[in-house]
Structure 1
């Protein structure tokens, strides 16, 4: 396999990991679970409401609704401008995430079957132990987003927060 092909595959794996962590954190933060944001995108009622409109792409609409609900709360707690976080990434990365969500059948399956147990398992798979801290917490600079390790780092922070029952908003400074 040539080097360019390998980097494309690694990028796809990173995009899938970001989507999975977003789904996990988003689901655990919804109103009927952690109550971090006032959304219910992954309930049966939301599925029943969205499916007639979006058909077989309803999971994409639910994913984007969940991301937007989480983004608004993160932005209100962290601020917008010189910070990026799991739900507000660079525009080029956001576009790649959207295309990955549409094109990857594995991500479709992930979005269609995610539940609280699976969400906790996704965050637990990070192998990153973090001491929980409430509120916004800077976990590095935006340059860290070029490396894949940041995904596990933020997942570890969210897992610690959900386990301790406090809200934590990891972010990267210097946008």
Structure 2
């Protein structure tokens, strides 16, 4: 499966870039899935719902299904967080998986960067960051794209993965 990441510090524009890339690349006829790493505790379920009650009762996995979608929730219950490779193995085959976060993993990435954050470039110390998408000029030895030039960024990623 072909994978490509979008990384950056908080408020750098990662999620907006991901959203635009998914729409652009799907619009070109490719199938795309996404993986988003969360650094905080999250829950896609709500107290009182049947599926929540199943998990609270001790179920290791709960699959919630309807005619529009399904969601598989897996409780780690103290086990270590699964690696990105393990999680990718759970996805159905698609042309491209875009990954938001996982900046320390070894897959190829583009870095979202906004000057207003004042954050340093991750790319300066990470050769897996293959390009920068920024709202300001950046001096670096890799391609730099305007953060809002989604088509050019999509072209670059698709060329990088051979699609």
**Common fold by TM > 0.5:** no
Normalising by structure 1, we get a TM-score of 0.27
Write 1 or 2 for the structure with the bigger share of strand: 2
Normalising by structure 2, we get a TM-score of 0.29
Write 1 or 2 for the structure with the bigger share of helix: 1
Q: If you compute each CA radius of gyration, which structure gives the higher value, 1 or 2?
A: 2
